[in-house]
Amino acid sequence: MRLCKAKINKEIDLDWQEIVDILGLDIHYDHLRKIAYGLIEYDNYLKEGNGVATRILSISDTHVPFQLPIETYNKYVGIVDILVLNGDILDCQSISRFPKSYRLSMIEEMIEGRKYIINLIEYIKPKKVIINYGNHELRFQKYLSKNLDSDMIELMPQTALDLICTDGFYHYDKKNKTKTWYDPLVKVFDDIEIEYTGDWKCKIGKTWFAHPMAYSSVALKTCEKAMDYFHRTDKEPFDCVVLAHTHKIGEKKSGYVTLFEQGACCYTDKMNYADGKLTEPQKEGFVYICQNENGELIESKSKIIKIN
């Protein structure tokens, strides 16, 4: 168990065949790799003694290059089954309509954003990563639609996350006459599944994680609208909605559904989007969700973590 944990957490430089040989096992190394995850999950289940089958950390609105340091999530290292990046991972500030005192170019932001996601995954060590896009990522498509002919748009992805997560991309440095290739995230990790949904929402168990385009300045109003939308469109039952986008923090029960507005994971004071507009201050935070083996929310173990 200790060797398997150390291997999965990348604390030792042994491959699975070497571990098989050390332990003197009469099994294929790939079989050991597969059963190791189940053994560790069962061991954690026994230690917790609370029926938690799936632990989900939802982080959103990092707005690279304004992201909080990865050490913000130090209490969740090694205990997360699924890491959800719930939209607005990139800010896309260079193609924003908001004025800036400086602008990071789109390619620089993509490179920094890709590196931040990799560092985050290596730090938290989840078993799986699921990524939604947000309204800021959709700036990419809007900008292209405005500035390119329709025939050229067909050659381009919807968001920069398509390039970062699944396609890969080149950086053509015209000044230095260099070309650098960046592998997509799906090829970076061997033992961690990376799923880019290509959507503003995803459902894990009976919990929806969403980054809608709608926005209300009233706390939890947007989350209520999302719940109503899922009631109309989802034929299967759900018991929780985790909402990004609003940069607000809130929690309430609406019937049998628990609603969370998860806040932002960026330095909101550095963004200056609402500077001088007398709007309600933005809130920084994220959400930790625990589910039982049926994918149902364990309310006593699920919570919002407020950063400020």
| Residues 207 and 277 reside in one and the same domain | yes
DSSP state of 207: E
| Residues 102 and 21 reside in one and the same domain | no
| Residues 43 and 57 reside in one and the same domain | no
Domain span including residue 14: 1-49
Question: Which 3 state secondary structure label does DSSP give 288?
Answer: strand
- Cα–Cα distances in angstroms (integers) from residue 103 to residues 52, 96, 98, 174, in the given order: 44, 10, 11, 19
pLDDT at 174: 87
| Residues 59 and 43 reside in one and the same domain | no
| Residues 207 and 141 reside in one and the same domain | yes
Q: Find the mean pLDDT for residues 115-130.
A: 97
| Residues 109 and 27 reside in one and the same domain | no
Q: Residue 237: pLDDT band by 50, 70, 90 thresholds?
A: very high
Residue type, 71: E
Flag whether pLDDT at 45 surpasses 80: no
pLDDT at 195: 98
Question: Which 3 state secondary structure label does DSSP give 193?
Answer: strand
| Residues 179 and 217 reside in one and the same domain | yes
- Cβ neighbours of 220 (radius 10 Å): 20
| Residues 55 and 145 reside in one and the same domain | yes
Q: What is the mean pLDDT of the chain?
A: 90
pLDDT at 98: 64
pLDDT at 97: 67
DSSP state of 68: P
- Cβ neighbours of 175 (radius 10 Å): 5
Angle at which helix 16-23 crosses helix 29-48, to 10 degrees, equals 80
Q: Find the mean pLDDT for residues 57-85.
A: 96
Percent of the chain surpassing pLDDT 70: 92
pLDDT in tens, 129-155: 999 999 999 888 888 888 877 777 787
Output 183 or 5, whichever has higher pLDDT. Answer: 183
Contact call for residues 305 and 286 (beta carbons, < 8 A): yes
Q: Residue 156: pLDDT band by 50, 70, 90 thresholds?
A: confident
Q: Residue 126: pLDDT band by 50, 70, 90 thresholds?
A: very high
Closest by CA to 280, choosing from 220, 228, 237, is: 220
- The residue behind tokens 């059963």 is 35
| Residues 37 and 115 reside in one and the same domain | no
Contact call for residues 129 and 82 (beta carbons, < 8 A): yes
Q: Residue 100: pLDDT band by 50, 70, 90 thresholds?
A: low
Flag whether pLDDT at 124 surpasses 70: yes
CATH number of domain containing 231: 3.60.21.10
- Secondary structure (H, E, C), 80-110: CCEEEEECCCECCHHHCCCCCCCCCCHHHHH
Question: Which 3 state secondary structure label does DSSP give 12?
Answer: coil
How many structural domains is the chain composed of?
A: 2
Alpha-carbon distance of 22 to 25, in angstroms, equals 8
pLDDT at 67: 96
DSSP state of 264: B
| Residues 108 and 161 reside in one and the same domain | yes
Q: Model pTM?
A: 0.80
pLDDT at 102: 59
Q: Find the mean pLDDT for residues 247-276.
A: 88
Dihedral (Cα; 208, 213, 216, 217), 10-degree rounding = 110
Q: Find the mean pLDDT for residues 203-211.
A: 98
pLDDT at 101: 59
The token pair at 35 is 């059963």
Strand ranges in the chain using DSSP code E only, listed in sequence order: 54-59, 82-86, 128-132, 169-173, 178-182, 193-196, 201-204, 207-210, 240-243, 249-254, 257-262, 285-291, 303-306
| Residues 95 and 39 reside in one and the same domain | no
pLDDT at 147: 81
The token pair at 30 is 């790939």
Helix-strand-coil percent breakdown of the chain, rounded to 5? 35, 25, 40
Flag whether pLDDT at 278 surpasses 50: no
| Residues 157 and 278 reside in one and the same domain | yes
